[in-house]
A and B are shown apart, each in its own frame.
Chain A
Amino acid sequence: MSQKLEKLIDKKGLRLDGRKPEELRQIKIEVGIILNADCSAYIQQAKNKILAGVYGPRELHPKHLARPDRTVLRCRYHMAPFSVQERKSPAPSRRDIELSKVMREALEPSIFLEYYPRTGIDVFVEVLQADGGTRCASITAASLALADAGIPMRDLVVACAAGKIDNTVVLDLMDTEDKKGSADVPVALMPNFNAITLLQMDGILTHEEFEKAVNLALDGCKRIYVMQKEALKAKYESVKEVEE
């Protein structure tokens, strides 16, 4: 972090990929593309290509993990060996384990877990290509997959990161900005409740910059939320068209 070798923001105030500081990357979301999974979602955010699939509620194995009063949500965040510059071993890294945990904790508040006692819901996320901000994109996709699976939810969970590069607080960091910038703040939100379900940070920020970054990330979340809802509707609209 904080290696200021090259400029991340040019004189016109534009970033390496030509974005303004408060601009999101191109996002494409699709719902229901893996036929086998109970439900699935795909998100593409610049070079990020992420698949999320949901199985369940179903019988939980091993059985001793089952809870008499609620379902057990399990998440697995995994990166394909070819998703990054240097081959990543397919075995789960410590980072993968931490991200699986924070992802689960980001999604749990949105689900009515008590509706399916003694069962388990499995969420699998595969990062096919990583370009910075994969945990946020994963959460956005996973939440859609859960919704598409018909699991009763309070709200969708949407995530977006803000950060600091070249002394400027910016939205939605890409890989280079994440590595060379000075801070990264991923945030997940249930927009209808204004409830933050994930918050992490690494880097150095003053109190004021942190406040600004959180506000910017929340704003980004709300913008992605619109696209998320559209993607969900789009699946059912296409079904309707076929019927007609």
Chain B
Amino acid sequence: MSSVIVRIKQKQIAELIAKEKRVDGRGLSDYREIKVEQGIIERAEGSARVLLGKTEVMAGTKIGIGRPFSDTPDAGVLTVNAEFVPLASPTFEPGPPKENAIELARVVDRGIRESEAIDFKKLCIKPGEKVFVVFVDVYVLNHGGNLIDASALAALAALLNTKMLNYEIEEDEVKIKPGYTPLVVRKHPIAVTIAKINDKLIVDPSLEEEQMMDTRLTMTTDEDGNICAIQKGGSGTFTQKQVLEAAKIAREKAVEIRKKLKW
């Protein structure tokens, strides 16, 4: 789209938001339609596809066996990676993940890790030597704004249908046995992103809104209403009051979104 049209549209978005309205007809604290499909990639240990308006994100989990980190010898490992595949947006380029993809992966990772959704102690095979490694790979298939929330939801949905390998230890060797047991997921952290446009807080910014927002705040909360991860992004500022208000909105919205998941 030419930049003139973008400017006109941005002006319209700003004017509507001042009247507590949005271009796509949503209220300031409404999400776009969310669809979650779980278990769609048979070769993956767990998988899910999330549609959030025009945003489409897929997440797959793979389980491997690796060495634990030296400071946590008896805990399994979680690795979250995000790929902004070039077909998803004209602004995505092939190559190693750039800072936005890295930030997204780290925010998703923090939500899962800090909420203690996964019991890492249970993923230990032999302390100091062998542990299970849970790989979560987030694949952005279409960029329609608010990739963080869609990715966090896809990652959690994929973990919820992840099958763990059965194993036994024979003569110090790990033998994989046939069959699977489900991965235990104890908490359900949900990320809610709130953007600030013209000093108003709006939930779930679309791509157009993201392009003109001052700043955003992502808050991840668990089902007990505890906050487990926060990330501010973009080069604007928040007041203390706005931060606390955002925390309240995030908690309320998370309850709504959690209902979309099956476990």
> Chain A: residues with CB nearer than 8 A to chain B?
1-2, 86, 94-95, 97-98, 100-102, 104-105, 108-109, 179, 183, 185, 190, 193-207, 210-211, 214-215, 218
Q: How far apart sit A202 and B230, CA to CA, in the bound complex (Å)?
A: 7
Residues of B within 8 A of A (CB): 70-71, 99, 102-103, 105-106, 110, 113-116, 215, 217, 222, 225-240, 243-244, 247-248, 251
A109 vs B214: C-alpha distance in the bound complex, in angstroms? 10
Q: Taking each of B217, B226, B234, which has the highest tally of chain A beta carbons within 10 Å of its own beta carbon?
A: B226
Between A and B, 19 residue pairs with Cβ closer than 8 Å are: A86-B70, A94-B102, A94-B106, A102-B103, A105-B215, A105-B232, A105-B233, A105-B234, A185-B230, A195-B239, A197-B237, A199-B232, A201-B230, A202-B113, A203-B228, A204-B114, A204-B227, A207-B227, A218-B240
A190: nearest chain-B partner, CB-CB: B237
Q: Complex: how many Å from CA A204 to CA B117?
A: 12
* Total A-B Cβ pairs within 8 A: 101
- B243-A201 in contact (CB<8A): no
Nearest 5 CB-CB pairings of A with B: A195-B237, A108-B235, A201-B230, A199-B232, A105-B235
Contact of B102 among A98, A195, A206 (CB under 8 A): A98
Residue in A86, A98, A196 whose beta carbon sits within 8 Å of that of B237 in the complex: A196
Say whether A202 contacts B114, CB under 8 Å.
Answer: yes
Q: Nearest residue in B to A201 (C-beta to C-beta)?
A: B230
**Residues in B whose Cβ lies below 8 Å from that of A201:** 227-230
Specify which chain A residues have a CB less than 8 angstroms from the CB of B215 in the assembled complex: 105
> A197-B237, A199-B217, A202-B230 given. 12 additional CB < 8 A pairs?
A94-B106, A95-B106, A97-B99, A179-B71, A193-B237, A200-B230, A200-B231, A204-B115, A204-B222, A205-B228, A206-B226, A211-B244
Contact B105 A94 (CB under 8 A): yes
- Residues on B with C-beta less than 8 A from A179 are 71
Bound Cα distance A179, B72 (Å): 11
Question: Complex Cα distance A109/B71, Å?
Answer: 38
Complex: how many Å from CA A104 to CA B215?
A: 13
**CB-based nearest A residue for B103:** A98
Chain A, Cβ-Cβ closest to B217:
A199
Q: How far is the CA of A66 from the CA of B103 in the complex (A)?
A: 23
Cα distance, A90 to B232, chains bound together (Å):
27
Whether B230 lies near A102 (C-beta < 8 A) is: no
A203 to B111, CA, bound (A): 9
Interface centre among A104, A194, A198, A204, by most B CB within 10 Å?
A: A204
Assembled-state Cα–Cα distance A199/B243 (Å):
9
Could you say which residues of chain A place their CB within 8 Å of the CB of B234? Answer: 105
What is the CB-to-nearest-CB distance from B117 to chain A, in angstroms, rounded to a whole number? 11
A61, B227: Cα distance in complex, Å: 41
- How far is A177 from B216 in the complex, measured between Cα atoms in Å? 28
Alpha-carbon separation in the docked complex, A190 to B215 (Å):
15
A198 touches B232 (CB 8 A): yes
Does A196 lie within 8 Å of B235, measured CB to CB? no
Would A97 and B229 be within 8 Å (CB), given that A196-B238, A204-B114 are in contact?
no
Q: Is the CB of A205 within 8 A of B226?
A: yes
CB distance from B201 to the nearest CB of A (A): 14
Q: How far is the CB of A91 from chain B (nearest CB, A)?
A: 12
Q: Are B227 and A205 in contact (CB under 8 A)?
A: yes
Q: Which residues from B are CB-within-8-Å of A95?
A: 106
Is the pair A2, B228 in contact by a Cβ cutoff of 8 Å?
no
Residue in B229, B235, B243 whose CB lies within 8 Å of A202: B229
Given the complex of chains A and B, what is the CA–CA distance between A211 and B99 in angstroms?
29
In whole Å, how far is A158's beta carbon from the nearest beta carbon of chain B? 13
A101 to B107, CA, bound (A): 13
Interface centre among B227, B231, B251 (most CB of A within 10 A): B227
A100-B225 in contact (CB<8A) = no
| Given A100-B99, A193-B237; A210-B116 close (CB under 8 Å) | no
Q: Which residue of B lies closest to A86 (CB)?
A: B70
Q: Nearest-CB distance from A106 to chain B (Å)?
A: 8
Q: Are A214 and B243 within 8 A (Cβ)?
A: yes
Contact B239 A196 (CB under 8 A): yes
Q: Are B237 and A109 in contact, with the CB atoms below 8 A? A: yes
**A98 and B114: CB pair below 8 A?**
no
Write the nearest CB–CB distance from A180 to chain B, whole angstroms.
11
Query: Are B239 and A194 within 8 A (Cβ)?
Result: yes
Bound complex: CA A98 to CA B227 (Å): 21
